[in-house]
Amino acid sequence: MIEIRNLQFQPLTFNLAGDRTLHLGPRERTSIPQKDISPEIRLAEKRGLVGLSKPEEKKPSVSDETAETTEPKTTKRRK
C-alpha cells in the first residue's frame, strides 16, 4: 500500500491504473495499492501536487519499565 496525500488547498481527481478514479479533498490522504498508481499520479508527484509515501508503521509504546523510572515533569505556575 502507498499513501497518497493531496498537498493542495483544492480537491484533485486522478485516474487510477484500471477503470477507477481517485478523488482527494484538500489536504486529504488515503492509501491505495501499489498496482493502482498511474503515470498521471507519478507526474502529479513530480509537479508537487501530491506526496507519495509508504504508510508509517505504528511504533511500540513505551515499556512499563521505562514508564516507572521516569518521573512526570512538573511545570512552574506563573503569577
Dihedral sign for Cα 18, 28, 4, 61, please. negative
Alpha helices in 2-60 (DSSP H): 39-47
Given a cut of 60, is residue 14 above it in pLDDT? yes
Instruction: Supply the pLDDT for residue 72.
Output: 64
Span 36-77, pLDDT tens digits:
999 999 999 999 999 999 877 666 655 555 555 666 677 777
From CA 54, how far away is CA 23, in angstroms rounded? 19
Residue type for position 26 = P
Residue pair 13/23 in contact (Cβ under 8 Å)? The answer is yes
Residue bearing the bigger pLDDT, 75 or 17: 17
